[in-house]
Amino acid sequence: MAILGGRPAFSKPVVITKPTMPPVSGIQKEYGRILKSGMITNAQFVREFEQKVAKFLSVKDVVAVSSCTSGLMLTMKIFGLKGEVIVPSFTFHATAHAAVWNGLKPVFVDCDPNTYNIDIKAVEKAITPRTSAILAVHIFGNPCRVQDLQRIARKHHLKLIFDAAHGFGAQYKGRNLGGFGDAEVFSLSPTKLLTAGEGGMVATNDRELAKQLRIGRNYGDSGSYDSQFSGFNARMSEFHAILGIESLKSLEKNVNKRNRLAQLYKKQLSGVPGITFQHIDANDRSSFKDFSIVIDGKAYGLNRDRLAEILLKENIVVKKYFYPPVHMQKAFAKFGGNAINRKLVHTNAIAENILSLPLYSHMTGDYVRTICSTIKNVYNSRTALKQYYSKKGR
Ligand SMILES: *Cc1c(COP(=O)(O)O)cnc(C)c1O
């Protein structure tokens, strides 16, 4: 093991993820065209991108925005949400930031210990007369329990919004994510499956929401200069749209590739004591935005933090997504005081033991095999590694 003075498993760092970019030939002509015309933002290619994504997702409308965060902010603003919004704490912090920017109080609820997605019973328990929406997240591209959430939202007259930042290409019961709830908001930032450099997409079957989003992303100005509400600049540029259109062509292939790599990870790591995986329902397809393992330190012999340190020394770049959980972060300290927040047992346990391993769409199976054999070597060398840590007084 490299941490004990041996040679690392990889001579150069294997990154946690990287975007799979289209060839220059696919975008050169279009870039030339917009540079010549001077139509460089929110024009023909943005509209083409929106239409192609709407078709891919089988939804009535898709509105391109500058990011997933801005799409969530505008959607909540347009719905006129007030009071409390129910959100998972086991997510990327941007989910909750978008609610706070709208003056909403995020009420953090626990996740399911197997799927890592928002827990249905916890959602029901968190509903109060002040609740106006549920903001759920398809964690790592694993579809939430969509139908249960829709039933709860209908019953209590709540808006249901999905942060689908990880969900491009994922399927719930055979249907692409995008058409569920009142809106699903995707991210096109560089670490996501479909990337446009930066950007976001709001998918919805609510035509009125789509219309208002087009106004909202343009400062709330529909073109008359008499602004209708306080929007902001959340437009997408033509450069981003061209990149997005080209990337969309290989999305299906990339999702399949990631599913194969994830299967390989699972096969290679099955049987290693103390390692478990996110549960994906047999009727669903994850996009595998990330591939994560949860480590039971007692059974594995070393805890998550030690494994992470050891793997980094092997030039395997791993990340603790999502740690700390959102309700424990400084920005949300003032929302952490209620009884529900203190009991996020599964969220805390997963956040403390989860580790995301390298995965990107053009990664080869050989990388996965070497990463897995390294994780097995760590297990087999656990006695020596434990001695190393006890000598260091840790
Ligand atoms: C990346 C991410 C976001 C933010 O996406 P941007 O496009 O960067 O705004 C929001 N939510 C989740 C769950 C994410 O992973």
Q: What is residue 66's predicted lDDT score, i.e. its pLDDT?
A: 98
Sign of the alpha-carbon dihedral angle for 364, 368, 373, 378? positive
Average pLDDT over residues 191-200: 96
What pLDDT score was predicted for residue 339? 46
Task: List phi, psi (to 5°) of 162.
Answer: -105, 125
Q: Which of 164, 169, 142 is nearest to 20 (CA)?
A: 169
Write out the H or E segment, with its range, that includes residue 378. helix 365-380
Residue closest by Cα to atom 10 of ligand 1: 94
Question: Measured from the CA of 98, which atom of ligand 1 is nearest?
Answer: 10
Element (H, E) at 146: helix 146-155
Secondary structure letter of residue 227 according to DSSP: -
Distance 173 CA to ligand 1 centre (A): 24
Q: What is the SS3 assignment for 278-313? A: CCCCCCCECCCCCEEEEECHHHHCCCHHHHHHHHHH
Q: Are 358 and 17 in contact (CB under 8 A)?
A: yes
What CA dihedral angle connects 371, 259, 140 and 320, to 10 degrees? 0
Structure tokens at 355: 């580790």
| Range with the poorest average pLDDT among 199-208, 241-250, 256-265, 336-345 | 336-345
What atom in ligand 1 is closest to the CA of residue 69? 9
Alpha-helix residue ranges (DSSP H) falling in the chain = 28-37, 44-57, 68-78, 94-101, 120-126, 146-155, 207-216, 238-248, 251-269, 297-300, 304-313, 339-342, 345-353, 365-380, 382-391
- Cα 357 → chain centroid: 15
Supply the angle between the helices 304-313 and 382-391 in degrees, to the nearest 10. 100
Q: Give CA–CA dist 150/21, Å, rounded.
A: 35
- Token pair belonging to 96: 């909750």
Q: Quick one: pLDDT band at residue 26, thresholds 50, 70, 90? A: confident
pLDDT in tens, 32-91: 999 999 999 999 999 999 999 999 999 999 999 999 999 999 999 999 999 999 999 999
Distance of CA 288 from the midpoint of ligand 1 (Å): 15
Does residue 302 or residue 392 have the better pLDDT? 302
d(C-alpha 94, C-alpha 89), whole Å: 11
Atom of ligand 1 nearest to the CA of 199: 7
Q: With pLDDT > 90 as the criterion, what percentage of the chain qualifies?
A: 96
CA 32 to chain centroid, in Å, comes to 33
Nearest to 175 by CA among 214, 135, 138, 123: 138
Residue 312 reports pLDDT greater than 80:
yes
Pull the structure tokens for residue 204.
Answer: 């919805």
Six-digit token string for 392: 């260091």
- Model confidence at 394: pLDDT above 60: yes
Identify the band that residue 11 occupies on the pLDDT scale cut at 50, 70 and 90.
very high
Is the sign of the CA dihedral 336, 350, 151, 161 positive or negative?
Answer: positive
**Cα distance between residue 172 and residue 314, in whole Å:** 37
DSSP state of 114: T
Pocket of ligand 1 (CB under 6 A): 67-69, 91-92, 94-95, 137, 163, 165-166, 187, 189, 200
Is residue 201 classed as helix, strand or coil in its secondary structure? strand
172 closest CA partner among 292, 248, 286, 324: 286
Q: Which atom of ligand 1 is nearest to the CA of 71?
A: 9
Q: Which residues make beta-bridge pairs with 316?
A: 14
